[in-house]
Structure 1
Amino acid sequence: MDPHENNILFQPLRIGMLELPNRILMAPLTRARASDRVPNEMMADYYAQRASAGLIISEATAISSQGFGWQGAAGIYTSEQVNGWKRVTDRVHANGGRIFLQLWHMGRKSHSDFHQGELSVAPSPVAPIGEAHAPAGKKQYEVPRELTIADIWGVIDDYATATRRAHAAGFDGVEIHAANGYLIDQFLRSSSNHREDEYGGSIKNRTRFMREVVEAVCGAWASDRTGIRLSPTMNEGGMSDSDPIALFSYAGQILNEYDLAYVHTAEAIKPGRIFNADEPRVTPYIRKAYHGKLLTNGGFDKQSAAAAIRNGEANAIAFGQLFIANPDLPERFRIGSRLNAPDSNTYYSAGPEGYVDYPMMPYASSSP
């Protein structure tokens, strides 16, 4: 392949109110380094190191104590957490970067140990398969409590409040986490949503909660400061849907109504641990249904990312593990440098090892 064909990765891209200098984005990555749910200086170092990304999408961040459920994760529901995130965004902006906060409610994938013995919540009392990252270590998931209509309204309000706090913390926008088997995804998919009211049954009803969260978040800040992430074939924890193409095509269609900054899909380009190999990839169907900016993530390298953008499959590509190990990933792509290999043993460990100690290259900026 002609190396100049990869220049498309370095073409600017307008998403919402932001002009991105490149299309090499940092995917949201849970790293479990927060101090008692509060972002710390080490996290500010980590994100500042990666400020050359066209856009950083932060790790998933709990919108409320109810939505929390991962030891070492951060929240955005207290003043102390807002102040902690403000240190992060200040550092990223000082290094020339742009950063969105990912808004997270874990739903049934939390555990009662995080909630003084109260059960986690979900659209239906159906336990996921697997184990929660509880305070004392991994524990089997429990059968969650089904949310009432009044509960649902309260959660939607929590999303709006968290959005206003993200704005106050200096973020450039927010991404609604509607993927990976967490609360919004639990409402979307038939394996986890067995409701018989206006939030369950038909595809229209199962997408209602997502739509109402999007409306609340856009109203709390602005639609052009709002993105959303979907994972149409992620099957971890027993997640599945009877007709994912129909479901997510419909979701793409209704998201056209909100003039969002982007829709972001998480779907592996090759079968793997959390990708259902028996289903076709759904992102191409979302691309047909959704007319705005589409980002995607799922095992891309430099060449496959450039090809996907060039072929119109997406407007930009988000990289996860490559950004963990290569803080200066855009420059390494630009000059064709060797990449550091990530150490999966330190993905969720405490401390700086495997977090802020991956080497950056000594380089002078060069033209693509």
Structure 2
Amino acid sequence: MLNALWNPIVAGEISLPHRLAMAPLTRNRSTPDGVPTELNAEYYAQRASHALIITEGTQPSADGQGYPVTPGIYTDEHIAGWRKVTDAVHKADGRIVIQLMHAGRMSHPDNTPHHRQPVAPSAVRPAGEMFTASGLQEMPVPRELSTEEVSATVDDFRRAAAAAVAAGADGVEIHGANGYLVHQFLATNTNQRTDQYGGSVDNRIRFAVEVATAVADEIGAGRTGIRISPGNPFNDIVESDTHELYPALVSALAPLDLAYLHIAHGGDDELLHTLRKVWPTALVLNRAGTDIATRAKDVEDGLADIVTVGTMALANPDLVERVRAGAPLNTPDPATFYGGDATGYTDYPTLTA
């Protein structure tokens, strides 16, 4: 069964040597200005044997930042920092796409360079608290984007995609999942707009389709992927119409001929099979919490073309080599997932070590 993982595949313009890829993982280890460092370059290069590296969520604008010390891709300094990362990954014979993540309402003024109120489809405060440099703080009420500002945000994604390619990335992944801005436009509890971006399913998917279209026009559809997480309640998201919403979204994205669709599977197998039938290019599947054999079976059964792993990749820089050899895996340390230094980041041992 595991043999299904080792066949090469082409996703758009990106040729992959096998089917086991690295999922995006927030690690909060850039500079305070969002510039990737030599330590980040080492971390990603260590994991270059994965079929594809999808980076941590990277803000396309100052408004897009949600958390402390996350990377950006909208200034010359960001481009230079990411160039260190992409060069290191390519030198290790890897492939890497930068995930563009606008956090939307999942933010706090203390975490952004301009200290402004978060923006969102509608002025609906998320439940919970946000981690900041001064500790946990209550989530603020976000400011609703005007119709004109929504269009400007689409352009932010377009410019960020161009910057990612200028930084040497093989492409980008649009983050349309996990309760961040694109997902906020999709969900009925976070999108209460009355303009062309709110109300009906066709209106709520409009922003996601416009972002994907703009990015594909800018850097090429073959370098553009998008991630979705149907039914995921993370970050205070409520979706009551997933079986109508997501087939409509995926059907609207299909004509763009993007490199791939990345689905974070939430357990709705019926919906997953429906989306598989609708999607025309590579389908990337993430089944969090399952073993490699389960994920390999998805490839063998044709449900997925590529599978992604998160914490297994975090704790095992040589995960591919370990899986091929049937070797035991390192145990991830949750205490070092977010922030800090090389501990729990670049010091997980390899088999050769």
Tell me what 2:344 maps to: 354
Unaligned runs of 5+ in 1: 270-278, 364-368
Match of 1:13 among 2, 9, 17: 9
SS, match of residue 285 in structure 1: helix
Tell me what 1:222 maps to: 220
Q: Is the 8 A contact 1:233 1:282 kept in 2?
A: no
Tell me what 1:27 maps to: 23
CA distance in 2, matches of 1:268, 1:242: 14
Q: How does 1:111-126 map to 2 (within 5 A)?
A: 111-115=108-112, 116-126=114-124
**CA offset at residue 6 of structure 1?**
0.9
**CA offset at residue 214 of structure 1?**
0.8
Match of 2:296 among 303, 306, 326: 306
Tell me what 2:274 maps to: 285
Match of 1:233 among 219, 226, 231: 231
**CA offset at residue 202 of structure 1?**
0.6
SS, match of residue 285 in structure 2: strand
**CA offset at residue 245 of structure 1?**
1.5
SS, match of residue 263 in structure 1: strand
- Does 1:97 pair with 2:59? no
**CA offset at residue 233 of structure 1?**
1.7
Instruction: Give TM-score scaled by structure 2 length.
Output: 0.96
SS, match of residue 337 in structure 1: coil
Q: Is the 8 A contact 2:287 2:295 kept in 1?
A: no
Letter of the 2:11 partner, please give it. Answer: I
- Does 1:88 pair with 2:77? no
> What do the CA deviations read for 1:239-284 (whole angstroms, capped 9, x no partner)?
0212111111111111111010000011245xxxxxxxxx666322
Tell me what 1:167 maps to: 165
Q: Is the 8 A contact 1:38 1:84 kept in 2?
A: yes
Tell me what 2:318 maps to: 328
Letter of the 2:3 partner, please give it. Answer: N
Letter of the 1:29 partner, please give it. Answer: L
- Does 1:155 pair with 2:144? no
Unaligned runs of 5+ in 2: none
CA distance in 1, matches of 2:245, 2:202: 9
SS, match of residue 64 in structure 2: coil
SS, match of residue 72 in structure 1: coil
Q: Is the 8 A contact 1:124 1:193 kept in 2?
A: yes
Q: Is the 8 A contact 1:69 1:133 kept in 2?
A: no
CA distance in 2, matches of 1:280, 1:171: 33
CA distance in 2, matches of 1:240, 1:13: 35
CA distance in 2, matches of 1:33, 1:156: 27
SS, match of residue 233 in structure 1: coil
Match of 2:258 among 235, 257, 260: 260
State the aligned residue count.
350
CA distance in 2, matches of 1:218, 1:25: 22
**CA offset at residue 112 of structure 1?**
2.0
Instruction: Give TM-score scaled by structure 1 length.
Output: 0.92
Match of 1:295 among 275, 280, 284: 284
**CA offset at residue 357 of structure 1?**
0.3
Q: Is the 8 A contact 2:104 2:181 kept in 1?
A: yes
Q: Is the 8 A contact 1:27 1:57 kept in 2?
A: yes
Tell me what 1:343 maps to: 333
Identity of aligned residues (%): 43
**CA offset at residue 84 of structure 1?**
0.4
Larger deviation, residues 175-184 vs 296-305: 296-305
CA distance in 2, matches of 1:262, 1:280: 19
SS, match of residue 341 in structure 1: coil
Tell me what 1:197 maps to: 195
Match of 2:132 among 125, 131, 134: 134
**CA offset at residue 150 of structure 1?**
1.0
CA distance in 2, matches of 1:245, 1:162: 31
Larger deviation, residues 229-238 vs 280-289: 280-289
**CA offset at residue 175 of structure 1?**
0.3
Letter of the 2:148 partner, please give it. Answer: A
